[in-house]
């Protein structure tokens, strides 16, 4: 297993729209394992393939305290939605940035596992927030797209400065 490099905003590759996964092979399962390892090491509660520069519709989530509830979603789709929740969100592609985002509070997701088996999952709370945040990544959408352009510009400037100092 290995950890993968996470892209940071405003990297334009975060805007690429991911394509459906069509082949469920050993390479896909290795990628899923590497995404879990990368997410746990960060640490984060979710990771979309887009963030590691792989533009396939694949995401991993684990919102448990003990990092013992891994969920991988391949080709996820939200099929029912309802309610409203506002949550303070962070993102591994935006180190140190937190913003309140309004999302659906209850969702039903249909997806496939690493073997291509379809499954359905109902989610609420942080799990629902996280799945919506990750599916947005697959569509090239970022949590700062929900806040004002002024704030987004400030965040861009702050992160570019951090990146200059780090390199």
Cite the active site residues: 134
14 binds Ni ion (CB under 5 A): no
- Rule CB under 6 A: choose which of 56, 71, 137, 152 binds ligand GNR: 137
107 binds Ni ion (CB under 5 A): no
144 binds ligand GNR (CB under 6 A): no
34 binds ligand GNR (CB under 6 A): no
10 binds ligand GNR (CB under 6 A): no
- Rule CB under 5 A: choose which of 45, 91, 101, 138 binds Ni ion: 91
The answer to whether 8 and 95 are in contact (CB under 8 A) is yes
The total of other beta-carbon atoms located within 10 Å of residue 110's CB is: 15
The DSSP symbol for 160 reads: H
Q: Can you read off the two tokens belonging to residue 48?
A: 């979309």
The answer to whether 92 and 59 are in contact (CB under 8 A) is no
Q: Comparing C-alpha atoms, which of 110, 148, 98, 102 is closest to residue 129?
A: 102
Q: List interacting residues with ligand GNR (CB under 6 A).
A: 44-48, 51, 87, 89-93, 129-130, 133-134, 137
């Amino acid at each position: 297993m290995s950890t993968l490099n996470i892209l940071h905003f405003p990297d334009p590759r975060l805007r690429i729209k991911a394509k459906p996964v069509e082949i469920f092979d050993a390479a896909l399962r290795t990628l899923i394992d590497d995404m879990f390892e990368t997410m746990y090491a960060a640490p984060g509660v979710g990771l979309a393939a887009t963030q590691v520069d792989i533009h396939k519709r694949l995401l991993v989530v684990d919102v448990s305290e003990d990092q013992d509830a891994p969920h991988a979603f391949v080709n996820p789709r939200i099929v029912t939605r309802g309610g409203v929740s506002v949550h303070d969100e962070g993102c591994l592609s935006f180190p140190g940035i937190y913003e309140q985002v309004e999302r659906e509070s209850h969702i039903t997701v249909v997806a496939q596992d690493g073997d291509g088996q379809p499954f359905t999952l109902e989610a609420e709370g942080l799990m629902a927030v996280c799945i919506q945040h990750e599916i947005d990544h697959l569509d090239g959408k970022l949590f700062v797209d929900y806040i004002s352009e002024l704030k987004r510009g400030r965040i861009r400037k702050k992160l570019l400065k951090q990146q200059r100092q780090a390199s």
